[in-house]
């Protein structure tokens, strides 16, 4: 079976994170195979909340980054783009240090929308967060 990600290589996908939030908070894309995209994120001063545990928003950043990149890699029309419409997250376990690991896989790949599920685990492979994201596919017209 062909990959939903086309001919993109892991190195090409890693370069897409350069000079973005991924780079700023240390998210690293680690795999794009078996129709999933995986990454890891450090739990450190960039991703912790004041009580010393990983900020829930950081989980959402990891989830949205993986799902958005995954969606982009599936686009056959190179003039199209994808943007997040909705994300939800259930935080089930705190993390104080180390890394968390996210795996995003498509639930629905439509012409105008995609839905992705993202699981985030700690270093002991215990669940930290389960998330779902809806992505709009189309042409983006911004006036800045």
Helix, strand or coil, per DSSP, at residue 115: strand
- Of the pLDDT bands very low, low, confident and very high (cuts 50, 70, 90), residue 144 is low
Q: Using alpha carbons, list the distances in angstroms from residue 102 to 37, 125, 139.
A: 8, 10, 28
Of all residues in the chain, the percent with pLDDT exceeding 90 is 89
Confidence class for position 6, pLDDT limits 50, 70, 90:
confident
Torsion angle (degrees, nearest 10) of CA 42, 62, 24, 100: 0
pLDDT for the residue numbered 78:
81
How does pLDDT run across 76-103, given as a tens digit for each residue? 888 899 999 999 999 999 999 999 999 9
In this prediction, residue 139 carries a pLDDT of: 83
Q: List the catalytic residues.
A: 64
Q: In the chain, what are the domains?
A: 10-138 (3.10.129.10)
pLDDT tens-place string over residues 15-57: 999 999 999 999 999 999 999 999 999 999 999 999 999 999 9
Average pLDDT, stretch 101-117?
A: 97
What rounded mean pLDDT belongs to the chain?
A: 94
Kindly list the distances between the CA atom of residue 12 and the CA atoms of 5, 8, 69, 73, 102, in Å, as whole numbers in the listed order: 12, 6, 11, 11, 19
Residues facing residue 121 across a β-bridge: 101, 127
Average pLDDT over residues 124-143: 90
Average pLDDT estimate for 60-78: 95
Confidence of residue 142 (pLDDT cuts 50, 70, 90): low
């Amino acid at each position: 079976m062909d990959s939903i990600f086309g001919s993109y290589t892991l190195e090409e996908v890693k370069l897409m994170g350069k000079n973005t939030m991924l780079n700023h908070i240390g998210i690293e894309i680690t795999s794009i195979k078996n129709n999933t995209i995986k990454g890891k994120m450090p739990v450190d001063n960039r991703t912790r909340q004041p009580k010393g545990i990983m900020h829930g928003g950081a989980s959402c950043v990891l989830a949205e980054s993986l799902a958005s990149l995954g969606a982009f890699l599936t686009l056959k029309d190179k003039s199209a783009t994808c943007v997040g419409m909705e994300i939800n997250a259930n935080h089930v376990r705190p993390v104080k240090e180390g890394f968390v690991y996210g795996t995003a896989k498509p639930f629905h790949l439509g012409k105008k929308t995609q839905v992705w599920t993202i699981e985030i685990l700690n270093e002991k492979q215990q669940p930290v967060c389960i998330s779902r994201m809806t992505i709009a596919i189309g042409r983006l017209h911004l006036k800045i």
